[in-house]
């Protein structure tokens, strides 16, 4: 259990992180302080609770300990109270506080790959009310393994509108931003360059003329000079009952594209080609992928950057679904799906900063049983001030 000193520090830390968030309720209905509700939800999520009932159950089981640094004038809020508050809570304010905290622990992100990718929360749809599942675009710092921010995709829009809004919230200077084909847009490339960062953007059929020109050049080159294949960087990976081989080439954009196709893309310098073969026990698949980039690097460096991009799939999206059950969550009223998605990402960042060599699932399990370990998670992440 925390000492009096640590409790006072924890109180100050909680107030700094969440004290400025506006309470959406009218004053006469505030039986519980907003900060108390947010902190109980956060601590419960760290400790394995993935539903409103789970959050209330955690609060009731930890009430004596929580009273050491929370007010709790009317005890632990019910699961219905938590649901109503998070449904009305301003998501943008909560996300702003999240980004402020990330900024204190992320430090200088220069030379990191920042992967941008979207994910749907499948359980958040409501067929009866005609509400689609929540779509979020997240920014992932691959080296630090931190979620830097998220942006919701508007109901009648797509990721193209959410990506620029997310990029505008981030400090990108010196970083390499990687985005799948949905984000391969001239204005997005320009925005990244204006932020003094670089880009690697996947190139597919949504950029018709550009894609066709690169694909045609590659096919002609491969046919006319078969020895050209040996100039690429070769990778072979074996595991999970599959064998994958990849060859990566980087070619100056001026060798592949005429000026009229290069010019609209700010600082376009390099075309990257990745040819991959995957052998499974029952089938073999072959794929060729194309990328455009503002950087000049070796084949091996591009292979690393592109590989790092897919860390957002298995280190973020996979963890959210498997460890936190995000796809199965039926939290969906008002702003609650977006707010709880942020809680999960907040929790994931906290758990990743804790240094013990154990799985995320076991860290959550231990935090539920051991208050001291939960405080260690908060301290290691920089959540507790001066800890």
**How far apart (Å, rounded) are the C-alpha atoms in residues 98 and 106?**
12
The answer to whether residues 265 and 186 touch, using CB atoms and an 8 Å cutoff, is yes
State how far the alpha carbon of 262 is from the alpha carbons of 179, 219, 249, 335, in Å: 19, 19, 19, 42
| Helix (H) / strand (E) containing 329 | none
| Average of per-residue pLDDT across 14-32 | 92
Q: For residue range 168-201, what is the model confidence (pLDDT) as tens digits? A: 999 899 999 999 999 999 999 999 999 999 999 9
What pLDDT, on the 0 to 100 scale, is given for residue 1?
A: 41
| Average of per-residue pLDDT across 68-75 | 96
The two tokens of residue 101 are 């905290």
Q: Is 239 a residue whose pLDDT tops 80?
A: no
What pLDDT, on the 0 to 100 scale, is given for residue 124?
A: 62
| Average of per-residue pLDDT across 47-64 | 97
| Average of per-residue pLDDT across 147-162 | 82
Q: For residue range 291-316, what is the model confidence (pLDDT) as tens digits? A: 999 999 999 999 999 999 988 998 99
- Break the chain into its structural domains and give their ranges: 4-90+335-381, 101-317
What pLDDT, on the 0 to 100 scale, is given for residue 228?
A: 67
Per the model's pLDDT, the better-predicted residue between 224 and 333 turns out to be 333
Q: Is 4 a residue whose pLDDT tops 50?
A: no
Q: Confidence band (pLDDT; 50, 70, 90) for 236?
A: confident
| Average of per-residue pLDDT across 51-79 | 97
**How far apart (Å, rounded) are the C-alpha atoms in residues 304 and 112?**
11
**How far apart (Å, rounded) are the C-alpha atoms in residues 302 and 295?**
9
pTM metric for this prediction: 0.90
**How far apart (Å, rounded) are the C-alpha atoms in residues 387 and 293?**
41
State how far the alpha carbon of 385 is from the alpha carbons of 15, 33, 146, 380, in Å: 11, 22, 19, 10
What pLDDT, on the 0 to 100 scale, is given for residue 155?
A: 60
Q: For residue range 340-387, what is the model confidence (pLDDT) as tens digits? A: 999 999 999 999 999 899 999 999 999 999 999 999 999 988 898 874
What pLDDT, on the 0 to 100 scale, is given for residue 164?
A: 95
Mean pLDDT of the chain: 89
């Amino acid at each position: 259990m925390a000492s009096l000193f640590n409790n006072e520090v924890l109180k100050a830390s909680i107030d700094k992180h969440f004290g400025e968030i506006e309470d959406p309720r009218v004053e006469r209905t505030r039986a519980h302080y907003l900060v108390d509700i947010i902190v109980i939800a956060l601590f419960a999520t760290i400790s394995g609770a993935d539903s409103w009932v789970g959050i209330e159950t955690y609060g009731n089981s930890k009430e004596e300990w929580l009273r050491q640094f929370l007010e709790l004038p009317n005890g632990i809020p019910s699961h219905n109270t938590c649901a109503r508050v998070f449904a009305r809570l301003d998501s943008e304010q909560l996300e702003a506080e999240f980004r402020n905290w990330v900024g204190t622990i992320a430090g200088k992100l220069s030379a990191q790959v920042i992967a941008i990718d979207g994910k749907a929360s499948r359980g958040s749809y409501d067929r009866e009310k005609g509400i689609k599942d929540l779509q979020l675009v997240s920014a992932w710092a691959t080296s630090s393994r931190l979620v830097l921010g998220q942006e919701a995709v508007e109901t009648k829009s797509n990721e193209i509108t959410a990506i620029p809004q997310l990029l505008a919230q981030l400090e990108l200077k010196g970083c390499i931003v990687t985005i799948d084909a949905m984000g391969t847009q001239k204005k997005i490339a320009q925005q990244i360059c204006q932020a003094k960062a670089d880009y690697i953007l996947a190139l597919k059929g949504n950029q018709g003329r550009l894609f066709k020109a690169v694909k045609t050049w590659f096919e002609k080159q491969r046919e006319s000079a078969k020895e050209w294949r040996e100039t690429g960087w070769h990778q072979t990976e074996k595991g999970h009952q599959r064998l994958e081989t990849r060859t990566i080439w980087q070619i100056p954009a001026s060798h592949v594209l005429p000026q009229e196709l290069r010019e609209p893309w700010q600082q376009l310098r390099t075309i990257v080609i990745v040819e991959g073969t995957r052998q499974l026990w029952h089938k073999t698949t072959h794929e060729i992928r194309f990328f455009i980039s503002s950087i000049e690097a070796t084949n091996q460096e591009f292979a690393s950057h592109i590989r790092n991009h897919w860390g957002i799939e298995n280190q973020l999206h996979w963890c959210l679904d498997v460890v936190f059950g995000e796809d199965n969550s039926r939290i969906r009223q008002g702003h609650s799906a977006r707010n709880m998605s942020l809680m999960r990402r907040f929790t994931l960042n906290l758990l990743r900063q804790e240094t013990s060599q154990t799985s995320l699932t076991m860290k959550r399990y231990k935090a539920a049983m051991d208050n001291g370990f939960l405080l260690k998670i908060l301290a290691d992440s920089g959540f507790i001030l001066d800890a």
